[in-house]
Structure 1
Amino acid sequence: MHNSGLAPLDAPVMTGGLADTVFELAERDPGRPQLARRAPDAPGEWVHVSAAELREQVVDVARGLVACGISPGNRIAIMARTRYEWTVLSCALWALGAEVVPLYPTSSHEQVEWILRDADCVGVVVEDEQGIMTVGSVCARLPRLRHVWQLDAGGLEQLVERGRPVPTATVDSLRRIVLPDSTAVVAYTSGTSGRPRGCALSHRSLASPCDTLLTGWSGLAAPPGEQPAVLVFLPFSHVYGLMIQGLCLRGGFLMAHEPDLRSDTLAAALVSFRPTYLHGVPSVFERVYKSFLTSAERAGRGALFERAARTARDHAEAMERQRLGTGSGPGLELRLQHALYEKGVYRKLRESLGGRLSGAVSGGSSLNRELALFFAGIGIVVHDGYGLTETSGGVTMQPLGREKFGTVGRPLPGVDLHVAQDGEILVRGPSLFQGYIGDEAGTAEVLQEGWLATGDLGRLDSEGYLTLTGRKKDIIVTSGGKSVAPAALEERLRMHPLIHQAVVVGDDRPCVGALITLDPEYLPHWRAALAGQSEGQGREAREENALRQEVTRAVAAANSTVSRSESIRVFRVLPEPFDQANGLLTPSLKLRRDEITRRYAAEIEAMYQSTRESPARPRGAAPTLEAAAGWEESEEDVFRRVR
């Protein structure tokens, strides 16, 4: 085992609950802008809510909850997108010592029933009529559920009105008896296999990574003298979203909410709000990169963008070598090229993200090294980190001035991190969860002598930087006995603009294969560009051939990062993406691998069958389209259905 963390920082000592932050900031700096809401009559403008105004709203909602009989230890589910009311409600519940149970608004009836029953919730806040219908269909089987509030039907206003007879002093009295080690959140795991499990997270464990990051990294959040501003769009139903909310509240950042994750809506919000810092997951940064590429190609400047992107990566890589002491930095020619593209390309790219970004953070899974180099090269350094629900968020982070792209950084101060002999990451520190509610055996299985067995695989280099290599349960073992971690291959495949999702398969098969879906936003653009080059009879056939060639190139690029025995030898393009509606993604947008392989068992079998029927190739020869991809005549029908 090995551990090499960062030096301890003097983070503040916590004495109460998470809601105290709202009250303390309102006392210290009442006029400080704390939240931003869209102007009701001008969606492109934002209205600030001061620290004092936020405190008053939190108190008013808390009084309404008291009037409804909500008491310390009660659990209330919030089933809503990332929106202003989520922050007010969570702070009000924490002020009373109640516990928040985040629920994805897209959860199925079965998931909602399971979580509300398992967490023993006495109330649930839903967003809209759809939420009411979902909860209503299961509430008869939940005798403990006494309250359902609907935000879009004035649920918050009703609480405020009901709480008017309750003295403000009642809220203050309840808030002052909340202890740091009291449970604040019961966050459910994504449920990629089996039922989700409720992780009990204390006020202290949720605050710990926030306070550590604020102590050591808050200088990245805005230029000197400016108040940091963060547009929060990741779901608060996930621990990463909750951590971002905690960072903003505890750090005094200006926080705005964007519940709509559609690319055009998110792009407009970035331009109008103009954040100084960006928190996202790898798929967000992948989408941003693809949007840059698509815009450039539509403007007839695709080749220019590719050259600028290559220069950005080369420059960032040279700068990385310089700061890590392994090189002298960019040479004169590279510096001149970079300066040229800074004026003509990079500045415009940053302006499309609001024009004020001083940096970003990626979490949820590892960010592709080439993508991290690209963003650093255009002037937005993305600090990659690692954490999970059971650790209340982040446990590693890229150290300032010593960023090593392609890794998730080093353990945060106060965190011990080891890699066991089988490659599993073990973590110990102040942010660990209290256990799975109602599941002592499951808790004992992963939490032993203060160490959490994460189920993630990784490796530590000589300087203590952690590289994630996959999940233990996702490891594929071919019939030849070769163990393959699919994450790296899938990540590399998604870098191609045409590829949206990829699932690597191959358990008990002679070689590794992949199921691939096409990017629904980039595909129409690609088709339009190709149509201009392929008019006339036979256009559809040429399009299908071109599409096959593009996907084959993407597979070849992914294979270049692994050994031959680990490379993808067969693949199949599927006619529809994996999503929550078809049950192939979790609410946190993670792949349900078992369900995907079960659903597409026939396609997987046909993919390998076509390979067995393919003629042998001379050793060392480049794979042909048919042999590498396992294409059959029926594959043309697949491409037509994708259309």
Structure 2
Amino acid sequence: MHQSHLSAPPAAPTQGGLADSLREAALSTPDLPQLARRAEGHPGGWIQVTAVELWDEVVDVARGFVRSGIRPGDRVAIMARTRYEWTVLSYALWSVGAEVVPVYPTSSHEQVAWILQDAHCVGVVVEDEQGIMTVGSACAALPFLRHVWQLDTGAMAQLVERGRTIPATAVDSLRRIVLADSTAVVAYTSGTTGQPRGCALSHRSLASPCDTLLEGWRQTAAPPGTQPAVLAFLPFSHAYGLMVQGICLRGGILMGHEPDLREETLSEAMLSFRPTYLYAVPSVFERIYKNFVRASQRAGRGVLFERAVRTAQDFALAEEQQRLGTGPGPGFDLRLQHSLYEKTVYRRLRAALGGRVCGAVSGGSPLNRELALFFAGIGIFVHDGYGLTETSGGITAQPIGREKFGTVGRPLPGTEIQVSDDGEILVWGPSVFQGYINDTAATAASFRGGWLATGDLGRVDSDGYLTITGRKKDIIITSGGKSVAPAALEERLRVHPLIHQAAVVGDNRPCVGALITLDPEFLSHWRAARAKGESPARDAREENELREEVRRAVAAANSTVSRSESIRVFRVLPEPFDLSNGLLTPSLKLRRDAIAQRYAAEIEAMYQTSSRLPREASIGDPSILDDSDNVFR
């Protein structure tokens, strides 16, 4: 069993509740811009909200909750996207000792009914009429539910008006009795199998990773003398999003909200808000990279961009070797070439993100090493980290000045990890959850001798860096007895601009296979670049070229694993894995069981086609589809 931890001291233990830091900021730095609100017609499109203004609004809303009968220990669900009101509501509830139950606004009727019932919620805040209808359809089974507030019909103003008769001192008295070990959030797991379970997270566990990251990493969030700015677009219904909110409000970082994750909207928000730092998941960084590729090809600079990418990666690799003591650093020629591309390419790429981004964090799943090298090479250092709902967010991060791409770094100060003999990652530290509500058996089963068993697989190298290799429950075992972790193959496939998603399959099959979806925007661009009239011959040639391009992507992914682990058969699907079709969890992870069930016929046909091919073809050359099949239209 390999154990790892950092020697640096942890942040000071949290005292009191999460709302305390907001009040302290209002007293010590009242004029510090704390949040930014969207404002149509306002210069720049954003209005800044100071620390004292934010605290006053939180107290006013909290008075409304008190007047509505919300008491310490009551649970109130927030079923909304990442918007300004989410922050005000959560801190207002914490200031009176209530517990927040985050619910994804895209959750189904069954999921919402289960969460509200299991958590015994006395109130729920929804965004719009759709949310009202979803909750309303479940009300008959919710005897504890007393309040439903709708944001788009003025719920915030209604709470403020309702609370006018409650003195602010009442809120202050309630805030003072909130203990650090009181439950602040009941966050439900994504539920890739079975019903979601509610993880009880205390004020202390939520604050701990935030304070530790601020103490050791805050200087990377902005140039000296500049207030860091973060555009929050990750869902606050997820532990990662909650951690981003906590870091910003506990660290005096200006935070803006962007609830709309459509590409054009998010791009506009980046340009107008101009963040200095990004918190995102790998799929966002993959999307940014693919947009860069597509834009360069449309401008006729595809070859130049490819050279600039290789130079950025070579430069970042040489710098990595230098800081880890395994190389001399970039040579003169490489520095010269990198300097040239900095003037002609890299600064334009950063400008597309607002022009001020100097660093980033990636979480949720491991970031591809080549992608991390690319971003570092263009001047955006992405610190990869690891965490889960049961650890209130981050538990590892790349140490400053000793970053090693392709890993998720080392444990945060005060946290320790072990890798058991079967490869499972075990965690101990102040951010570990209190347990699953209403499920003592599951809580007991999740611990081994006081260590949280994460269900994730990984390895720790001789320098203490953790590499995630997959999930225990996701391991594929072929009919030949070979165990394959699908995550690395899927990650490698997604880097290719044409590929949007990939699900590796192969349980009880003779070899590993993959279900692949294509990126619709890049596919359109790819077709447009080859359009030269219409004819059956051109269409057939285009389909053959597309098949060959996907084959090359599969071959590139296979080059990272052993022959027995490589993808031998695959099929391109006509639709993406999505929340709407139930193939993704709300945190955008694959629902593997649902995918296998939905595409059982396609999987069977894929392997049947493979079994009819000569041995050399089925093993050495992955097949995609019979020539008669065409799912690219």
Asked if TM exceeds 0.5, the reply is: yes
Instruction: Show the counterpart of 2:549.
Output: 550
Instruction: Show the counterpart of 2:31.
Output: 31
- SS of match in other structure, 1:426: strand
- SS of match in other structure, 2:180: coil
> Aligned match of 1:623 in 609, 620, 633?
620
Instruction: Show the counterpart of 1:64.
Output: 64
1:504-550 alpha-carbon deviations (Å, 9 max, x no partner):
00000000000000112211111111214x65442221221111111
Instruction: Show the counterpart of 1:588.
Output: 587
- SS of match in other structure, 1:48: strand
Alignment of 1:210-289 (within 5 A): 210-289=210-289
Instruction: Show the counterpart of 2:408.
Output: 408
Shift of 1:582: 0.7
Task: State the distance in 1 between where 2:464 and 2:260 align.
Answer: 38
Task: State the distance in 2 between where 1:634 and 1:363 align.
Answer: 41
Shift of 1:8: 2.9
Moved beyond 6 Å, runs of 4+: none
1:447-503 alpha-carbon deviations (Å, 9 max, x no partner):
233200000000000000000000000000000000000000000000110100000
8 Å contact from structure 1 (residues 44, 269) kept in 2:
no
Instruction: Show the counterpart of 1:291.
Output: 291
Task: State the distance in 1 between where 2:86 and 2:9 align.
Answer: 31
8 Å contact from structure 1 (residues 95, 174) kept in 2:
yes
8 Å contact from structure 1 (residues 499, 517) kept in 2:
yes
Shift of 1:48: 0.3
Instruction: Show the counterpart of 1:143.
Output: 143
- SS of match in other structure, 2:207: helix
Q: Which amino acid aligns with 1:550?
A: E
Task: State the distance in 2 between where 1:10 and 1:450 align.
Answer: 20
Task: State the distance in 2 between where 1:541 and 1:332 align.
Answer: 48
Task: State the distance in 1 between where 2:8 and 2:433 align.
Answer: 21
8 Å contact from structure 1 (residues 9, 216) kept in 2:
no
Same amino acid, percent of matched pairs: 74
Task: State the distance in 2 between where 1:76 and 1:615 align.
Answer: 61
Task: State the distance in 1 between where 2:62 and 2:72 align.
Answer: 12
Instruction: Show the counterpart of 1:474.
Output: 474
Task: State the distance in 2 between where 1:40 and 1:145 align.
Answer: 36
- SS of match in other structure, 1:163: helix
1:112-135 alpha-carbon deviations (Å, 9 max, x no partner):
000000001000000011111111
Q: Does 1:540 align with 2:539?
A: yes
- SS of match in other structure, 1:417: strand
Q: Which amino acid aligns with 2:504?
A: V
Task: State the distance in 2 between where 1:244 and 1:374 align.
Answer: 24
8 Å contact from structure 1 (residues 610, 630) kept in 2:
no
1:380-421 alpha-carbon deviations (Å, 9 max, x no partner):
000000000000000000000000000000011011100001
1:590-632 alpha-carbon deviations (Å, 9 max, x no partner):
11000100110000000000010002328xx9934xxx11521
1:573-598 alpha-carbon deviations (Å, 9 max, x no partner):
00000101111111111110001001
Alignment of 1:130-209 (within 5 A): 130-209=130-209
TM-score of the pair, normalised by structure 2: 0.99
8 Å contact from structure 2 (residues 415, 430) kept in 1:
yes
- SS of match in other structure, 1:78: strand
1:84-131 alpha-carbon deviations (Å, 9 max, x no partner):
000000000000000000000000000000000000100000001111
- SS of match in other structure, 2:520: coil
1:419-463 alpha-carbon deviations (Å, 9 max, x no partner):
001000000000000000000000000123320000000000000
Shift of 1:141: 1.5
Instruction: Show the counterpart of 1:509.
Output: 509
- SS of match in other structure, 1:517: strand
- SS of match in other structure, 2:374: helix
Task: State the distance in 1 between where 2:15 and 2:627 align.
Answer: 68
Task: State the distance in 2 between where 1:166 and 1:538 align.
Answer: 77
Q: Does 1:599 align with 2:598?
A: yes
- SS of match in other structure, 2:216: helix
8 Å contact from structure 1 (residues 365, 386) kept in 2:
yes
Alignment of 1:373-384 (within 5 A): 373-384=373-384
1:288-317 alpha-carbon deviations (Å, 9 max, x no partner):
000111111111111111110011001100
Task: State the distance in 2 between where 1:43 and 1:183 align.
Answer: 41
Instruction: Show the counterpart of 1:632.
Output: 626
Instruction: Show the counterpart of 2:73.
Output: 73
Q: Which amino acid aligns with 1:180?
A: A
8 Å contact from structure 1 (residues 82, 233) kept in 2:
yes
Alignment of 1:554-569 (within 5 A): 554-569=553-568
Task: State the distance in 2 between where 1:536 and 1:593 align.
Answer: 39
Instruction: Show the counterpart of 1:421.
Output: 421
8 Å contact from structure 1 (residues 9, 215) kept in 2:
no
